[in-house]
């Protein structure tokens, strides 16, 4: 693990290599990917299927490891961490929003949001206060006791966002967060992400196929065959 | 919500499946509770003493010992109290209604084992009022529905009176309760002088001497010394503790403990296989969600603990139901069955619940712990 300083980018990838083996054949995904994202940025990553978007997100989330190269987020070298350390890092530094929400069906909205807090040394009361606060933030106050099956897609995704931010992580990773939503719900979710970025200063990396969604980001990176080919900054 | 709540909610995701598992577990622990209570109770061995010695004929239970042995035993300074008794087995009214009578000197019996039998000076005084008076154990009294003062007739199987009759008439003088619920009270205490005077054969013989060693004297050493004392006599002895005697007596018919262990063991092995199989499938169905939990930061150990907590919860609920049912059965069962659900049985059952809960959860927990997140996400 290396130490960073304020001048360093928050996310730094250098010479990142990653490949998979399929039927004995090596399939390279990244062959020396570089990326720098400053703290507080909101980056949309777009690209066709197979371009490496999900692989990049998995590595940023610490659920997959690069074959070579360095991957630093904040002061943590994820490429050098073991599984237990990466679990702990995820619990404390990262929140993730999934395309299909991935809420646990037997838990209420409040309990789903509370899940990451079970990993922190907080009292029951402290956990409840935090859960109420984030549910209020995402506009779901009063729906604490509702189960996911009783909620619309947009509401479920807001629960997913609340779960991602309840631990107050610096980094928010979003995997096609509007991919399962209608336009209105999608815009509400994207507005919320923009609010989290602008007001709460969360660094956000969002993988999306949706050009409309990418408009909410500060910059958009286009990934093609494992490399960034284009960068657009929001006006 | 707590970590335990999460495990509990996971367990209740498929209520019918969890309920059926709990029923299986409850039945297995009901079987365990009843069989263990049967062993501890009816057999009377749990309450039998390791300290009180029974001196019997080395030739077998049916061979009597001469009363003359009493004087030589009484001369041993390591013997604190000495009693003797002869047995009479027979039936009351119907042949299948078998009862056992132990004929003894009540004064000596209270000195040797008054506490274990629950004998009081009042009871000894009551039986002393007339030669045909008897004391009846609480379990037998309730099973037969007798009352104090009632006259009963026991038709002996093999002890005839001098007039050729085998009908022994007694009057119930009192009820002895035993030291605790595990004590064997399913028999009658009669007076030795009455039986001895009236019987046609075996006069002045006894079936056993009962010895209470002096405090601090190892019972095993005293037993060996007694047997050595009579080794070269016309009636050599075999001395055992009360507990050893009862266990050996029961083994004459079958090793009930082994049979019970095999039955209970088979039930638990079957249970283990059913629950492991069900839990493996239950956890496999949730592989994707385990991937989600790992992504949120749940470590491999926490995932393992979550699944072990789930199986422990199912076992704790099912096992507790089974044990409560077993306890209720022992409370409401006929005293003749002598079922005793003692705290050690409950403690052992709780230990088995914990061990089986962890054992059945181990395989699915290990599988879940090892599944990489990316592989888990591919299962949807």
This model of the complex carries an ipTM of 0.91
Contact A102 B289 (CB under 8 A): yes
Q: Does B18 touch chain A (CB under 8 A)?
A: no
Q: Name beta bridge partners: B189.
A: B102, B135
Is pLDDT larger for residue B334 or for residue B262?
B262
B178 with B172: CB under 8 angstroms? no
What is the distance between the alpha carbons of residues B221 and B242, in angstroms, rounded to a whole number?
15
Contact A96 B296 (CB under 8 A): yes
Closest CA to A189 of A200, A179, A202, A199: A179
pLDDT-derived band at B363, boundaries 50, 70, 90: very high
> Considering B204, B234, B264, which residue would you say is the last residue of a domain?
B234
Is residue B51, in this structure, part of any structural domain at all? no
Contact A115 B2 (CB under 8 A): no
Contact B295 A104 (CB under 8 A): no
Contact A87 B300 (CB under 8 A): yes
Name the residue facing A58 among B10, B300, B374 (closest C-beta).
Answer: B374
Mean model confidence pLDDT for chain B = 89
Whether residues B226 and B82 fall in one domain: yes
Is residue B352, in this structure, part of any structural domain at all? yes
Q: How many CA within 13 A on the CB side of residue B314? A: 37
Between the alpha carbon of residue B306 and those of residues A166, A233, B286, B369, the distances in Å are 21, 45, 12, 10
Whether residues B292 and B190 fall in one domain: no
pLDDT of B153 strictly over 90? yes
Contact A107 B9 (CB under 8 A): yes
Q: How many CA within 13 A on the CB side of residue A3? A: 1
Give the three-state DSSP class for B15: helix
Residues of A in contact with B373 (CB under 8 A): 63-64
Whether residues B212 and B274 fall in one domain: no
pLDDT-derived band at A2, boundaries 50, 70, 90: very low
The pLDDT, as a whole number, for residue A232 is 78
Q: Does B300 touch chain A (CB under 8 A)?
A: yes
**B16-33 mean pLDDT:** 92
Whether residues B218 and B105 fall in one domain: yes
Q: How far is A120 from chain B (nearest CA, A)?
A: 10
**A42-49 mean pLDDT:** 93
Is pLDDT larger for residue B20 or for residue B40?
B20
pLDDT of B380 strictly over 80? no
Whether residues B70 and B151 fall in one domain: yes
Residues of B in contact with A115 (CB under 8 A): 6, 293, 296
Between the alpha carbon of residue B349 and those of residues B32, B45, B59, B271, the distances in Å are 8, 19, 41, 14
Contact B297 A98 (CB under 8 A): no
Whether residues B264 and B226 fall in one domain: no
pTM: 0.70
**B257-264 mean pLDDT:** 81
pLDDT of A20 strictly over 90? no
The CATH number corresponding to A39-64+82-233 among 3.40.190.10, 3.40.50.300, 3.40.1670.10, 3.40.640.10 equals 3.40.50.300
Is pLDDT larger for residue B241 or for residue B133?
B133
Residues of B in contact with A98 (CB under 8 A): 292
- The residue behind tokens 């090892």 is B370
The pLDDT, as a whole number, for residue B336 is 61
Contact A106 B10 (CB under 8 A): yes
pLDDT of B123 strictly over 80? yes
Q: Does B4 touch chain A (CB under 8 A)?
A: no
pLDDT of B61 strictly over 80? no
pLDDT in tens, B319-358: 999 999 999 988 887 666 667 788 888 999 999 999 999 9
**B9-35 mean pLDDT:** 92
Give the three-state DSSP class for A1: coil
Q: Which of B289, B293, B296, B375 to mutate to test the interface with A (most CBs of A within 10 A)?
A: B296
Q: Which two tokens stand for residue A109?
A: 């909205």
Q: Name beta bridge partners: A68.
A: A17
Residues of A in contact with B1 (CB under 8 A): 107, 110-111, 114, 118, 127
Strand A94-97's sheet: what is its strand order? A94-97, A171-175, A203-207, A42-46, A219-224, A227-233
The pLDDT, as a whole number, for residue A173 is 96
B50 with B184: CB under 8 angstroms? no
Q: Which of B1, B9, B372 to mutate to test the interface with A (most CBs of A within 10 A)?
A: B1
Q: How far is A118 from chain B (nearest CA, A)?
A: 7
The pLDDT, as a whole number, for residue B253 is 56
Contact B13 A107 (CB under 8 A): no
Contact B300 A83 (CB under 8 A): yes
Beta carbon pairs, A and B, within 8 Å: 64
The pLDDT, as a whole number, for residue A6 is 42
Is residue B25, in this structure, part of any structural domain at all? yes
Mean model confidence pLDDT for chain A = 90
Residues of A in contact with B4 (CB under 8 A): none
pLDDT of A5 strictly over 50? no
The pLDDT, as a whole number, for residue B338 is 67
Full residue range of the structural domain in which residue B205 is found: 64-234
Whether residues B262 and B190 fall in one domain: no
- The residue behind tokens 């009352």 is B147
The pLDDT, as a whole number, for residue A215 is 93
Contact A87 B1 (CB under 8 A): no
Residues of B in contact with A29 (CB under 8 A): none
Q: Which two tokens stand for residue A196?
A: 């989290």
Q: Quick one: angle between helices A153-165 and A124-137, nearest 10?
A: 130
Contact B292 A104 (CB under 8 A): yes
Whether residues B325 and B192 fall in one domain: no
pLDDT in tens, A143-200: 999 999 999 999 999 999 999 999 999 999 999 999 888 899 899 999 999 999 999 9
Q: Does B285 touch chain A (CB under 8 A)?
A: no
Whether residues B223 and B80 fall in one domain: yes
Closest CA to A126 of A160, A168, A93: A168
Is residue B309, in this structure, part of any structural domain at all? yes
What is the distance between the alpha carbons of residues A1 and B77, in angstroms, rounded to a whole number?
81
Q: Which two tokens stand for residue B175?
A: 């009820």
**A223-229 mean pLDDT:** 87
Closest CA to A168 of A57, A92, A62: A92
* DSSP 8-class letter at B191: E
Between the alpha carbon of residue B44 and those of residues B180, B308, B346, the distances in Å are 11, 38, 18
The pLDDT, as a whole number, for residue A234 is 73
Whether residues B38 and B104 fall in one domain: no
Contact B297 A90 (CB under 8 A): yes
Contact B296 A107 (CB under 8 A): no
Closest CA to B359 of B299, B297, B245, B271: B271
Total structural domains within chain B: 2
pLDDT of A7 strictly over 90? no
**B45-57 mean pLDDT:** 76
What is the distance between the alpha carbons of residues B14 and B31, in angstroms, rounded to a whole number?
26
pLDDT of B44 strictly over 60? no
Q: Which residues contact B345 (CB under 8 A, 6 or more apart)?
A: B33, B36, B37, B40
The pLDDT, as a whole number, for residue B252 is 58
Whether residues B69 and B175 fall in one domain: yes
What's the burial of A170, exposed, middle or buried (CB within 10 Å: 0-12/13-18/19+)?
middle
Is residue B248, in this structure, part of any structural domain at all? no
B311 with B357: CB under 8 angstroms? yes
**B28-57 mean pLDDT:** 78
pLDDT of B219 strictly over 90? no
pLDDT of B135 strictly over 50? yes
Q: Does B370 touch chain A (CB under 8 A)?
A: no
pLDDT in tens, A47-77: 998 889 999 999 999 999 999 999 999 999 9
H helices of B81-238, where? 106-117, 121-127, 138-144, 192-198, 219-229
Strand pairing class (A171-175; A94-97): parallel
Whether residues B20 and B143 fall in one domain: no
Q: How far is A144 from chain B (nearest CA, A)?
A: 12
């Amino acid at each position: 693990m290396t130490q960073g300083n304020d001048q360093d980018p928050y996310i730094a990838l250098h010479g990142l290599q990653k490949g998979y083996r399929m039927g004995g054949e090596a399939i390279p995904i990244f062959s020396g990917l570089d990326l720098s994202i400053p703290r507080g940025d909101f980056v949309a990553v777009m690209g066709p299927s197979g371009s490496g978007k999900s692989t990049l997100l998995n590595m940023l989330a610490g659920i997959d490891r690069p074959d070579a190269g360095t991957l630093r987020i904040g002061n943590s070298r994820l490429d050098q961490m073991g599984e237990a350390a990466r679990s702990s890092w995820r619990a404390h530094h990262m929140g993730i929003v999934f395309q299909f929400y991935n809420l646990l069906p037997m838990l209420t909205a409040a309990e789903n949001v509370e899940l990451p807090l079970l990993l922190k040394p907080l009292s029951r009361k402290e956990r409840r206060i935090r859960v109420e606060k984030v549910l209020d933030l995402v506009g779901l106050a009063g729906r604490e006791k509702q189960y996911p099956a009783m909620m619309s897609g947009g509401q479920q995704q807001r629960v997913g966002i609340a779960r991602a931010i309840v631990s107050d992580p610096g980094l928010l990773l979003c995997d096609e967060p509007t991919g399962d939503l209608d336009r209105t719900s999608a815009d509400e979710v994207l507005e919320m992400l923009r609010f989290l970025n602008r007001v709460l200063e969360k660094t956000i990396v969002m993988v999306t196929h949706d050009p409309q969604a990418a408009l909410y980001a500060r910059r958009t990176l286009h990934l093609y065959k494992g490399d960034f080919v284009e960068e657009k900054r929001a006006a | 919500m707590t970590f335990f709540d999460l495990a509990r909610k996971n367990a209740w995701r498929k209520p019918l499946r969890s309920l059926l598992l709990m029923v299986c577990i409850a039945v297995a622990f009901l079987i365990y509770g009843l069989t263990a209570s049967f062993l501890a109770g009816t057999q009377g061995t749990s309450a039998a003493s390791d300290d009180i010695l029974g001196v019997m004929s080395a030739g077998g239970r049916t061979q009597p010992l001469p009363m003359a042995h009493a004087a030589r035993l009484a001369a041993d300074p390591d013997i604190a109290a000495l009693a003797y008794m002869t047995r009479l087995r027979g039936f009351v009214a119907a042949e299948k209604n078998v009862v056992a009578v132990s004929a003894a000197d009540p004064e000596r019996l209270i000195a040797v084992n008054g506490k274990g039998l629950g004998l009081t000076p009042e009871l000894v005084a009551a039986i002393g009022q007339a030669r045909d008076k008897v004391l009846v154990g609480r379990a037998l009294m309730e099973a037969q529905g007798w009352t104090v003062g009632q006259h009963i007739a026991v038709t002996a199987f093999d002890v005839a009176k001098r007039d050729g009759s085998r009908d022994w008439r007694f009057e119930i003088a009192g009820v002895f309760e035993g030291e605790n619920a595990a004590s064997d009270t399913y028999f009658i205490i009669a007076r030795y002088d009455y039986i001895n005077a009236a019987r046609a054969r075996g006069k002045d013989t006894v079936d056993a001497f009962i010895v209470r060693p002096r405090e601090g004297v190892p019972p095993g050493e005293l037993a060996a010394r007694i047997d050595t004392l009579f080794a070269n006599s016309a009636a050599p002895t075999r001395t055992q503790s009360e507990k050893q005697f009862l266990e050996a007596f029961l083994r004459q018919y079958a090793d009930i403990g082994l049979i019970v262990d095999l039955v209970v063991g088979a039930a638990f092995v079957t249970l283990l296989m059913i629950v492991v199989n069900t839990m493996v499938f239950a956890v496999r169905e949730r592989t994707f969600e385990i991937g989600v939990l790992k992504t949120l930061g749940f470590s491999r150990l926490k995932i393992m603990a979550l699944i072990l907590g789930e199986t422990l919860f199912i076992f704790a609920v099912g096992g507790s139901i089974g044990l409560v049912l077993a306890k209720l059965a022992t409370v409401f069962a006929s005293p003749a069955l002598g079922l005793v659900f003692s705290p050690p049985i409950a403690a052992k059952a709780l230990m088995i619940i914990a061990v089986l809960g962890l054992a059945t959860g181990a395989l699915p927990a290990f599988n879940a712990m090892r599944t990489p997140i990316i592989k888990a996400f591919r299962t949807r």
